[in-house]
């Protein structure tokens, strides 16, 4: 561990202004987690424009706080209302809500907060251990390696997605196409702008993100009816007893390790880690029949896993510049807006940003532990606020933010357009995450591809002659091939069963 770097990081994170931004981030994150139907990605898309005048370290500290703070808030809604505030809190509903119905809501919320704190702190510790060696390894990367790595990231996100692989890859193609709008990086020729001057510098990803996540998310939620039967029993006994803590200790440890290492893989691994953790605890438990009926282990393991997974996501973002999820793609966009490119040179070129963010995570997890216990009553009251009052305010905030992005009505039009596109995508089960990741990575993929070909006289085999690049390309090809092979096998099995 680089102790001098961590000391530098705490000197950045513990300044009054950064303590304020860290607190703001974790508070807003918890609030968003508590309110089902809004989501972290939509919140980040809405808040990125207000960070323009904020120092880079402060802006990322706040946005990162929203990411891991939302995991704490999501469990509150799952336990008290049986509606997951975040997708990563779906599994918590199974036992958390049952505990609440049995009058053990306080203990469910307590073990959730304790497990989240331990997992978050453990995840940051592992992040510090892994980040520097991985950054040093990534210094060996040239344009071919970066191109192959980003292709691998897009393939993995599509492969591990919850929907159709073909639909996910289609969204990747759309995102890459959108990334080519504007001036060519080599010749300077303007492409696909249709004579619109505002598009000469490319399509702004902030209004696209605000449309796909903010507007689309709200349009989908407006037509849904959230039946919220908030548990009315008095919430007490927030701290589990000695026996419950003993039974939860190993699920917390296992969930933390699983969540972190699964989180380093591109894709929706935060959700996957919670299901894996729950399944593992149920399998090794001496009393598996208790799961689904209020087992405290069924809350401790998954809640630890989803918090540790967020720290795992930061590994690839900070060290390789590869966002493994839509949430991390938005953070990558925030970095780029502030003129900072995450990757192996981040530690060298911007040590205050790199170490400041990591140190702030220790601080943020401590804030969340202290915040969550006294504010539970407030979150319960907040859950009773009608969505008819919240959604119009969020719409207003989105459009003000999109206009202030460039003081142009074109930005508002782009937000509206992609809001409608995002709404239709959700209706037809197309995931927005691959499109967003491809849009953010698109210009970097094109640049790395062009640099590789220019340096090697147009030889495409350069991507296979370099060992690291070849590994990423081959794995990507195998993943795509396996999808089609499995699809054909399923089709044959279905045909045989129909014939019988």
Q: Tokens representing 66?
A: 């929203």
Residue-wise pLDDT tens digits, 301-315:
888 888 888 888 888
- Residue 191: phi and psi, rounded to 5, are -125, 140
Q: Are 204 and 192 in contact (CB under 8 A)?
A: no
pTM for this entry: 0.78
Burial zone of 480 (CB within 10 Å; 0-12 exposed, 13-18 middle, 19+ buried): middle
Closest to 230 measured CA to CA, from 373, 349, 105: 105
- Residues lower than pLDDT 50 in the chain: none
| 376-379 contact pairs (CB < 8 A, 24+) | 376/76, 376/109, 376/235, 376/238, 377/235, 379/30, 379/34, 379/73, 379/76, 379/80
Cα 491 to the center of its chain, rounded Å: 34
| End-to-end Cα separation, the chain, in angstroms | 63
Distances (CA, A) of 282 to 115, 303, 305, 341, 383: 17, 15, 15, 42, 31
Q: Where are the domains of the chain?
A: 3-499
Contact 244, 107 (CB under 8 A): yes
* Tokens read off for 388: 């008819």
Supply the pLDDT for residue 84: 66
pLDDT at 236: 63
Closest by CA position to 266, among listed 174, 160, 192, 165? 160
**Are the beta carbons of 270 and 313 closer than 8 angstroms?**
yes
- Cα–Cα distance for residue pair 138/346, rounded to 1 Å: 11
The three state secondary structure string of the chain is CCHHHHHHHHHHHCCHHHHHHHHHHHHHHHHHHHCCCCCHHHHHHHHHHHHCCCCHHHHHHHHHHHHHHHHHHHHHHHHHHCCCCCHHHCCHHHHHHHHHHCCCHHHHHHHHHHHHHHHHHHHHHHHHHHHHHHHHHHCCCCHHHHHHHHHHHHHHHHHCCCCCHHHHHHHHHHHHHHHCCEECCCCCCEECCCCCHHHCCCCCHHHHHHHHHHHHHHHHHHCCCCCCCCCCCCCCCCCCCHHHHHHHHHHHHHHHHHHHHHHCCCCCHHHHHHHHHHHHHHHHCCCHHHCCCCCCHHHHHHHHHHHHHHHHHHHHHHHHCCCCCHHHHHHHHHHHHCCCCCCCCHHHHCHHHHHHHHHHHHHHHHHHHHHHCCCHHHHHHHCCCCHHHHHHHHHHHHHHHHHHHHCCHHHHHHHHHHHHHHHHHHHCCCCHHHHHHHHHHHHHHHHHHHHHHHHCCCCCCHHHHCHHHHHHHHHHHHHHHHHHHHHHHHHHHHHHHHHC
74 contact partners, CB below 8 Å, separation of at least 6: 33, 34, 84, 85, 86, 88, 89, 92, 306
Instruction: Give me the pLDDT at residue 387, please.
Output: 65
2 close to 128: Cβ distance less than 8 angstroms? yes
Query: Alpha-carbon Rg of the chain, whole angstroms?
Result: 23
């Amino acid at each position: 561990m680089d102790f001098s770097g961590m000391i530098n990081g705490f000197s950045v994170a513990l300044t009054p202004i950064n303590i304020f931004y860290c607190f703001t981030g974790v508070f807003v994150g918890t609030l968003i987690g508590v309110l089902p139907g809004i989501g972290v990605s939509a919140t980040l898309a809405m808040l990125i424009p207000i960070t323009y005048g904020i120092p880079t370290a402060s802006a990322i500290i706040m946005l990162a706080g929203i990411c891991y703070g939302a995991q704490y808030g999501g469990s509150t809604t799952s336990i008290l209302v049986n509606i997951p505030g975040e997708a990563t809190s779906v599994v918590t509903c199974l036992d958390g809500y049952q505990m609440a119905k049995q009058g053990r809501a306080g203990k469910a919320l307590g073990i959730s907060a304790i497990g989240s704190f331990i997992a978050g702190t453990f995840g940051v510790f592992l992040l510090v251990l892994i980040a520097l060696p991985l950054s040093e390894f990534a210094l060996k990367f040239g344009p071919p390696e970066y191109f192959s790595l980003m292709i691998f990231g897009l393939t993995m996100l599509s492969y591990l997605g919850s929907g159709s692989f073909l639909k996910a890859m289609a969204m990747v193609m759309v995102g890459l196409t959108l990334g080519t709008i504007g001036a060519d990086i080599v010749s300077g020729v303007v492409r696909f702008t249709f004579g619109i001057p505002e598009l000469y510098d490319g399509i702004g990803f902030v209004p696209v993100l605000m449309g796909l996540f903010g507007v689309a998310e709200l349009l989908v939620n407006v037509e849904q009816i959230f039946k919220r039967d908030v548990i009315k029993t008095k919430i007490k006994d927030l701290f589990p007893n000695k026996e419950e803590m003993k039974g939860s200790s190993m699920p917390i440890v296992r969930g933390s390790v699983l969540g972190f290492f699964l989180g380093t893989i591109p894709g929706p691994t935060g959700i996957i880690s919670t299901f894996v953790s729950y399944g593992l605890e149920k399998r090794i438990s001496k009393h598996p029949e208790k799961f689904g009926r209020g087992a405290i282990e069924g809350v401790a393991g998954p809640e630890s896993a989803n918090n540790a997974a967020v720290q795992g996501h930061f590994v690839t973002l900070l060290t390789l510049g590869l966002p493994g999820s839509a949430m991390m793609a938005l953070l990558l966009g925030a970095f780029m807006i502030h003129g900072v490119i995450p990757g192996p040179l981040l530690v060298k070129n911007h040590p205050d940003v790199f170490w400041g963010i990591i140190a702030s995570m220790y601080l943020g997890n401590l804030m969340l532990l202290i915040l969550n216990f006294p504010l539970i009553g407030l979150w319960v009251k907040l859950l009773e606020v009608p969505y008819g009052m919240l959604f119009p305010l969020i719409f207003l905030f989105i459009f003000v933010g999109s206009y202030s992005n460039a003081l142009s009505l074109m930005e508002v039009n782009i937000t509206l357009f992609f809001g409608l596109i995002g709404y239709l995508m959700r209706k037809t089960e197309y995931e927005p995450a691959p499109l967003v990741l491809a849009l953010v990575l698109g210009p970097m993929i094109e640049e790395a591809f062009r640099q590789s070909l220019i340096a090697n006289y147009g030889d495409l085999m350069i991507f296979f002659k370099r060992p690291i690049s070849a590994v990423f390309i081959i794995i990507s090809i195998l993943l795509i091939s396996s999808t089609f092979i499995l699809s054909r096998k399923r089709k044959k099995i279905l045909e045989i069963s129909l014939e019988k």
